Amino acid sequence: MWNEPSAGIAVSALAAEAPRLPQPAVVASVEPGSIGDELGVQPGDRLLSINGQRPRDLIDLQVLVGEEELVLELEDPDGTVHSVALDKDVDEGLGLGFTEALFDGLKQCNNACPFCFIDQQPPGRRRSLYLKDDDYRLSFLYGSYLTLTNLTAADWRRIEEQRLSPLFVSVHATDPDLRSRLLGNPRAGLLLEQLAWFAARGLQVHAQVVVCPGLNDGEALRHTLLDLAGFAAGDRPAVLSAAVVPVGLTRFRPPGDGLLPVDRACARAVIAQVETLHQAFQSRLGSRFAWLSDEWYLIAGLPLPERDAYEDLPQQENGVGTIRAFLESLDRATRHLPLRLDPPRRLSWVVGKLVAEALQPVVQRLNAVQGLDLILHGLPSPYWGQEQVVTGLLTGADLLEGLAGCDLGDGLLLPAVMLRQGEPVFLDDITLAQLEQRLAVPIREVVDAEDLVLACLGGPDKAA
Ligand code: SF4
């Protein structure tokens, strides 16, 4: 799995079993009119404790703030400490944002997966790209995937006591030996017992399986999905959904790792296998339950399932149904298009080559507006050595190479998913400002379908 912590989530990392004393929570923002604002809290102030307790992370903070009577201990940037007592409604927050989500450091993974994307990067990039996030708190807060292999007894107790559910679990295989081999960790073989633990406590997970051809596809995949479905029945299923995604391989991976890329034949075989299982899951669970990411269909050269097939999009963040959901949002956003644009606009929109064809209907619909000329650029990634690449993996270098010499028109529309959340920087550390300067074209980030339409029509910038 690959979860680069967003800017503002965690700047410090920990070994799997080395707890650190929580540091003060540094205030990043204060909501106008909030309790924090009324108290005169300023960005840069440090929250030391709430009712005498120092929060370990945003989860603790939320729990501690859920009292009616609070005593906050705050420290100014000059070191002066204030103690403030206040009464509030139980559900009223403080209106404070913090520079980090974890005040005691990030729990990193203790696995050695041969397909790890983090190990398939070039050296020398920003530090956060090499952090192997396997932190159950980030999983709960932001939906990042974890393996459950680094949890201490205290962590398990906390998950139960604070009802940290749902979590998002990278399964890959349920067979204990196979999972241990895939994760390079004997502790990985405990997964089925761990799922039973969640089930016994009414706690829930979403699962994912990264399919590595020849390792955990075929019968192993069938076995895994059936095992997971065994925890998916009843009023409060322990496993809510299972995403099936293809392994991502780059040119930086170590030689002789034995991994094979997913090709068209493999993609078709996996689709046929999982779609066959859907019938059984539908009748037993009332849901398709196992979700194939869009990439499978794009690699296979097969049409994407209709939007209804994705039910309530339980794994959209994992690239499952993302394109259908985008097209659906686009339908809504283009309901009232003008007949013509005056003055006319000529714009470029850049996406990964893998998804370009599926997005052609979007371009056609927008280009029906007279005076609008939207040109779609579906680029490969020489940086990663991937011809067929998803949009989120395109780097600044890919854009510089792929768009060199192109007439980009009046502006370039750039999906925000290419940039680090919270910072205008690509995966290769090229910044948005550098790209704009080198391409000599104004660049506008687009965050979703509505924003794309707004950008095409010259409306306000949602990302600004
Ligand atoms: S080694 Fe495995 S569990 Fe750890 S970050 Fe890499 S893929 Fe994820």
Q: What is the pLDDT of residue 9?
A: 66
Residue nearest to atom 6 of ligand 1 (CA): 116
pLDDT at position 446 is 96
**What's residue 16's pLDDT?**
46
Q: How confident is the model at residue 2 (pLDDT cuts 50, 70, 90)?
A: low
Which value, in Å, is the radius of gyration of the alpha carbons in the chain?
Answer: 24
Amino acid making up residue 223: H
What separation in Å is there between the alpha carbon of 212 and the centre of ligand 1? 14
Ligand 1 centroid to Cα of residue 211, in Å, is 14
Asked if residue 116 has its Cβ within 6 Å of ligand 1, the reply is yes
**Per-residue model confidence (pLDDT) at position 256:** 86
Q: What are phi and psi of 432, to 5 degrees?
A: -60, -40
- pLDDT above 70: percentage of residues in the chain: 95
Q: At what angle do helices 449-457 and 360-367 cross, to 10 degrees?
A: 30
Mean pLDDT over all residues of the chain? 94
How many residues are recorded in the chain?
464
pLDDT per residue as tens digits for the range 348-393: 999 999 999 999 998 999 999 999 999 999 999 999 999 999 999 9
Question: CB of 443 within 8 A of CB of 414?
Answer: yes
Specify burial of residue 341 (Cβ count, 10 A radius: 0-12, 13-18, 19+): middle
Is the distance from the beta carbon of residue 185 to the nearest atom of ligand 1 less than 6 Å?
Answer: no
Rounded mean pLDDT of 184-199? 97
Determine if ligand 1 sits within 6 Å of the CB of residue 134. yes
Give the other-Cβ count within 10 Å of 187's Cβ: 17
Residue 114 confidence (pLDDT) above 80 = yes
Residue 3 has pLDDT above 70, yes or no: no
Residues 6+ apart with CB under 8 A from 256: none
In this model, does residue 18 exceed pLDDT 60? Answer: no
- CB–CB of 14/133 below 8 Å? no
For residue 132, give the ligand 1 atom closest to its CA. 5
More confident residue, 5 or 227: 227
Alpha-carbon distance of 364 to 345, in angstroms, equals: 15
147, 109 in Cβ contact below 8 A?
yes
* Across 77-99, average pLDDT: 95
In the structure, what pLDDT confidence band is assigned to residue 421 with cuts at 50, 70 and 90? confident
Cβ of 109 below 6 Å from ligand 1: yes
pTM of the model: 0.92
Q: How far is the CA of 277 from the centre of ligand 1 (A)?
A: 28
Interval between CA 382 and ligand 1 midpoint (Å): 24
Residue 77 Cα to ligand 1 middle (Å): 38
Which among 116, 146, 182, 215 is the best mutation to test ligand 1's pocket, defined by most ligand atoms within 8 Å of the CB? 116
pLDDT score recorded for residue 460? 72
Is the C-beta atom of 1 inside 6 A of ligand 1?
yes
CA separation for the pair 292, 220 (Å, rounded): 16
Tokens 């005076």 correspond to 371
- 299: nearest Cα among 261, 354, 259, 357: 354
| Residue 461: predicted pLDDT | 72
| Amino acid letter, residue 183 | L
Is 70 exceeded by the pLDDT of residue 464? no
- Torsion, Cα 229 235 238 243, to 10 degrees, reads 50
Q: Give me ligand 1 centre to Cα 297, in Å.
A: 25
User: In three state form, how does the secondary structure of the chain look?
Assistant: CCCCCCCCCCCCEECCCCCCCCCCEEEEEECCCCHHHHCCCCCCCEEEEECCECCCEHHHHHHHHCCCEEEEEEECCCCCEEEEEEECCCCCCCCEEECCCECCCEEECCCCCCCCCHHHCCCCCCHHHHCCECCHHHHHHHCCCECCCCCCHHHHHHHHHCCCCCEEEECCCCCHHHHHHHHCCHHHHHHHHHHHHHHHCCCCEEEEEEECCCCCCHHHHHHHHHHHHCCCCCCCCCEEEEEEEECCCCCCCCCCCCCCCCCHHHHHHHHHHHHHHHHHHHHHHCCCCEEECHHHHHHHCCCCCCHHHHCCCCCHHHCCCHHHHHHHHHHHHCCCCCCEEEEEEEEEEEEEHHHHHHHHHHHHHHHCCEEEEEEEEEECECCCCECCCCHHHCCHHHHHHHHCCCCCCCEEEEEHHHCCCCCCECCCCCEHHHHHHHHCCCEEEECCHHHHHHHHHCCCCCCC
Q: Tokens for 292?
A: 């194939």
Residue 15: per-residue pLDDT: 47
Residue 149 CA: nearest ligand 1 atom is 3
Average pLDDT for 5-14: 61
Ligand 1 and 418: CB distance under 6 A? no
Mean pLDDT of 244-271: 95
CA 123 to centroid of ligand 1, rounded, Å: 17
| 166 cis-preceded (ω within 30 degrees of 0) | yes
463 has pLDDT over 70: no
Q: With a cut of 80, say whether residue 17 has pLDDT above it.
A: no
Query: Which atom of ligand 1 sits closest to the CA of residue 210?
Result: 7
In this prediction, what percent of the chain has a pLDDT beyond 90? 90
